[in-house]
Amino acid sequence: MDEKPRRLGYTCVFLANSRSSPMQVADAIRSRKSVRRFRPDPVPRAQVERILELAAQAPSGANTQPWKVRALAGAARDALCRAVSAAAEQEPQRHHAEYGYYPDPWFEPYLERRRTMGFSLYDALGIARGDRAARERQALRNFQFFDAPVGLLISMDRRMNTGSFLDLGMFVQNLMLAARGEGLHSCPQGGFADYHQVVRGLGLLDEEEILVCAVALGHADPEAPENGLVTARVPVAGFAAFHGFDESAGG
């Protein structure tokens, strides 16, 4: 069965596989969330390839398609997790991403959103706000892909410019929505970018590439309390302004 989105009337749906029901795009978007505990159920290579093929339909400036992906499972995944986890435990101060992600210093309203998200996650996990050791243990779970059987390393050529980060973001979003169409969940992970030297040392990143993020991919553990976390979104009125619309016409 063709895995690409098809338009039925005015509703676009994902056709995942013959055993799945079609999922509307709106449902895929609303049900996508950052899952932080996965079941060990394996994800077949063919399923990962379907997801990546769909993700690659993302737009990019001048059709440059700057994304590169290393999909890891089994022993390859485990070796990466061991190496990055060891670096994160033993010498985290030596490792930094090759690009800036967050503002320095933080400022409002972004600082409050960050704090709210972090406190909500720790509350779901039953971690007291002053329990630094427990927080550090939870942070290290990033580098186990939260037990997901598949880890994806997302990179691009460092000679590309800032606009390619936009292209890469659209690719990753497509990837996560395509995963929902396959009945899977994901978690985008910027933390792996700090350990690009470790990843490169394992032969998983070329010298001319910059590691942008990783994505955990698999089946969500429905019993995990952290997977029940739903982060709030600012309403449209809080971030959008409308000009020139004819309200009398219902626009």
pLDDT of residue 23: 83
pLDDT of residue 21: 61
Mean pLDDT, rounded, of the chain: 92
pLDDT of residue 14: 53
Judge contact between 145 and 70, C-beta under 8 A: no
Number of Cβ within 10 Å of residue 43's Cβ equals: 20
Q: In the predicted model, is pLDDT for residue 10 greater than 60?
A: no
Judge contact between 191 and 213, C-beta under 8 A: no
pLDDT of residue 129: 86
Tell whether omega for the bond before 105 is within 30 degrees of 0, i.e. cis.
yes
Q: In what order do the strands lie in the sheet with 23-24?
A: 6-8, 11-14, 23-24
Q: What is the pLDDT of residues 156-190, one digit of tens each?
A: 999 999 999 999 999 999 999 999 999 999 999 99
Q: In the predicted model, is pLDDT for residue 54 greater than 80?
A: yes
Nearest partner of 197 among 211, 215, 214, judged by Cα = 211
For the entire predicted model, the pTM comes to 0.89
CA angle 13, 67, 106 (to 5 degrees): 95
